[in-house]
Amino acid sequence: MIRITTAGLAVLLMCTGLDRADAQFVGSTYTSTAPKDCRQIGKPSELDGSTTRVCKGKDGLVVLIAEDDLREIVSVGRNRKAAAEEPAAKVWFAPFNSSETTVEWRTAGTKPFAMIQRWHIADGSDPDKQGRPNTKAMLVVTRLPPGPVCHVAYVDAIANPNGNELARKAADDFARGFICGKDEVKIVGASGRAVELATMR
């Protein structure tokens, strides 16, 4: 049996670069963007039903969700105004779309550095029995402050049965070093119809 004293463990951690001060556990926590858990901004538009809501996030961040013409944008900031000015607030998917109400926050220690959210993208070429478009699921990885907030990676949830794991790995590997406006959004794993729809121009 190997016995390691407290002093010996400290030396071992220092030698391997895993000093407690530097070691940060990377994991996930979750919040909700369901309307009941958020603050509605103004009243829904009578013309097109457009809505805006602000939801509590992690570590003082808020999530801004705005819907217009059956399309959503999701952004993050220290407040509503800051979130509305981020690059993520200017990204629209061309087909009708919506985001699910669970946000996964990837954190290092207690600090979130990326968020993961499942989206549904309408596929006009695949109507249901009522003629409405079926939707295709996709996971969106978004980098968080410090620095700009923008999409980092897309994972097709149908083409990749392990999509959640791929999205977490993409967040851990790419989000903190991603340069918004310069780096291209990464397609992680097998591409599928959801990613194809989301990247239509």
pLDDT digits (tens, 9 = 90+) for 127-175: 999 999 999 999 999 999 999 999 999 999 999 999 999 999 999 999 9
CA–CA separation, 140 vs 138, rounded Å? 6
Both structure tokens of 175: 């989000």
- For the chain, which residues score pLDDT lower than 50? 1-22
Question: Nearest-CA neighbor of 112 among 33, 171, 37, 183?
Answer: 171
Check residue 200 and give its pLDDT: 87
pLDDT of residue 201: 75
Least Cα distance to 106 among 165, 167, 28 occurs for 28
In the chain, where are the structural domains located? 25-198
Res 9: pLDDT:
41
| pLDDT at site 11 | 44
The reported pLDDT for the residue numbered 14 is: 45
Rounded-to-integer distance, Cα 54 and Cα 46, Å? 20
